[in-house]
Amino acid sequence: MVPERLISLDAFRGLTVAAMILVNNPGSWEFVYPPLRHAAWHGWTPTDLIFPFFLFIVGMSMALSFARRAESGRQAGLYAKILRRSVVLFGLGLLLHLYPKFRFATVRIPGVLQRIALCFLFGALIYLITKPKARALLAVLLLVLYWALLTYVPVPGYGPGILEEKGNLPGYIDGLLLPGHLYKPDFDPEGLLSSLPAMVTLLLGSLAGDELRKRHTNSRKARTMFLCGVLLTAAGLGLDRWIPINKALWTSSYVVFTAGAAWLVFSLLFTLLEGPRWTGWAWPFRVLGTNAILVFAGSAIMVKSIGLIKISDAGQTVSPIAWLYNHALSPWAGPYPGSLIFPILLLVLWVLLLWPLYRHKVFVKL
């Protein structure tokens, strides 16, 4: 039986949300280290691992949670809870896009939480009606289907097989179904069609959760997860020759590669943190990971709210963040380090804010 809370899974979630804050909140967007930027189009950087890691973790957590419900006989109303959680997540994502101007006519409908909501809704239903082997086979079939759609379905005015920013099938479908509500006029990196392979990322995470449930020793579980990570990472890099690793399109090679990377990172954390080992170093990430949704939404609202405040600076009007960067962080540390220091300070603030909740085992769930 898996413990109620896995230290390694909380730390993995916390590391991922910490990376998200570092990427989303630089002191200056002009001075950002390359690893903290997304790849321009094809290819990947460490930043491109963050979102698939979130979905992978959702899949792992889902598998463990559903297993505990089955073991305790508390499965009543499960389908209603799945639907409720998905609706709340989707609504929260819309709220983050609407705040602070609430322009409903042009609000971006796709988004990170919206994609998580859709993937969780359909991924959870698939999980409940399939066994692990069937789920693995379905994941492969969905990736092949998505590859075939990108490769062979023609886009009007462009033709089939276009994997560039203009003329790709996911962008065409999003522009057709959600005009005026996308990240860009004709494309959204969290669009509808590319949510299909994103759901596969979640399903692969559920297979990792299934592995944790097995009655094996922790060392055997760690070895199995590490081997899966090596194989999937290598397979994703190999597939890149035929279909490029691309986060915006969430290509099949990207799914395989990032799932492998998630297996590798988690296998390392599992080895270090589960059992009689020193776990003190991970406590800030455990604090963040046990209330990840609060950090995700709260940090976005906090930074947007700070941006509403305007300060006069050398004849210009700037936000307090820009003022702090221009007059304190950059002069003291330099342009690039100063830009990185601000999200680090933000992370420290959130750890301090959430520490009382963690100490009293108050975990915000949707």
The CA distance from 228 to 221, in Å, is: 11
For residue 125, the model assigns a pLDDT of 94
How many degrees, rounded to 5, is the angle at CA 45 between CA 347 and CA 33?
Answer: 55
pLDDT, residue 50, reads: 97
pTM for this one? 0.94
* pLDDT of the residue at 155: 96
Query: From CA 250, how far away is CA 257, in angstroms rounded?
Result: 11
Domain map of the chain by residue range?
1-37+280-366, 42-277
Task: Please state, rounded to an integer, the average pLDDT across all residues of the chain.
Answer: 93
Phi and psi angles of residue 242, each rounded to the nearest 5 degrees, phi first = -105, -35
Q: Is residue 325 classed exposed, middle or buried when 0-12, 13-18 and 19+ CB atoms within 10 A define those classes?
A: buried
Nearest to 326 by CA among 31, 20, 7: 31
DSSP state of 327: I
Whole-number pLDDT of residue 238:
97
Residue 125's CB is within 10 A of a number of other CB atoms, namely: 13
The pLDDT score that the predictor gives to residue 366 is 75
Give the residue ranges of DSSP H helices in the chain. 7-24, 50-72, 78-98, 112-129, 132-152, 169-177, 195-213, 218-239, 252-273, 283-289, 292-307, 320-324, 330-333, 335-359
CA angle 152, 153, 159 (to 5 degrees): 90
Nearest residue to 358 via CA among 311, 288, 282: 288
| Separation of alpha carbons 183 and 318, rounded Å | 24
Query: CA-to-CA distance for 109 and 114, rounded, in angstroms?
Result: 8
Model pLDDT, residue 300:
95
Q: How far apart are CA 75 and CA 73, in angstroms?
A: 6
Distance (Å) of CA 309 to CA 101, 302, 320: 14, 12, 7
The SS3 of residue 343 is: helix
Residue-level pLDDT at 76: 65
185 and 172 Cβ atoms separated by less than 8 Å = no
The residues near 150 (Cβ < 8 Å, ≥ 6 apart) are: 161, 163, 168, 169, 170, 243, 249, 251
Region 337-343: what's the mean pLDDT? 96
Give the mean pLDDT of 325-354: 95
pLDDT tens for residues 240-274? Answer: 999 999 999 999 999 999 999 999 999 999 999 98
Q: Count CB-CB contacts under 10 A for residue 34.
A: 9
Q: Is residue 365 scored above 90 in pLDDT?
A: no
**Rounded Cα distance, 142 and 123, in Å:** 12
Q: What is the mean pLDDT of residues 5-19?
A: 94
Query: What b/e sequence results for 222-242 when a residue is b if at least 16 CB atoms lie within 10 Å of its CB, and e otherwise?
Result: bebbbebbeebbeebeebbee
154 and 145 in contact (C-beta within 8 Å)?
A: no
> Per mean pLDDT, which range of 22-31, 40-49, 189-198, 357-366 is the poorest?
357-366
SS3 312: strand
pLDDT digits (tens, 9 = 90+) for 17-76: 999 999 999 999 999 999 999 999 999 999 999 999 999 999 999 999 888 776 655 666
In this predicted structure, what is the pLDDT of residue 278? 73
pLDDT at 1 over 60: no
**What one-character-per-residue DSSP string does 127-189 give?**
HHH--HHHHHHHHHHHHHHHHHHHHHSPBTTTBS---SSSS-HHHHHHHHHSTT-SSBTTB-T
Is 2 a residue whose pLDDT tops 60? no
Residue at token pair 């603030």: 349
In this prediction, residue 182 carries a pLDDT of 96
Tens of pLDDT along 105-126?
Answer: 999 999 999 999 999 999 999 9
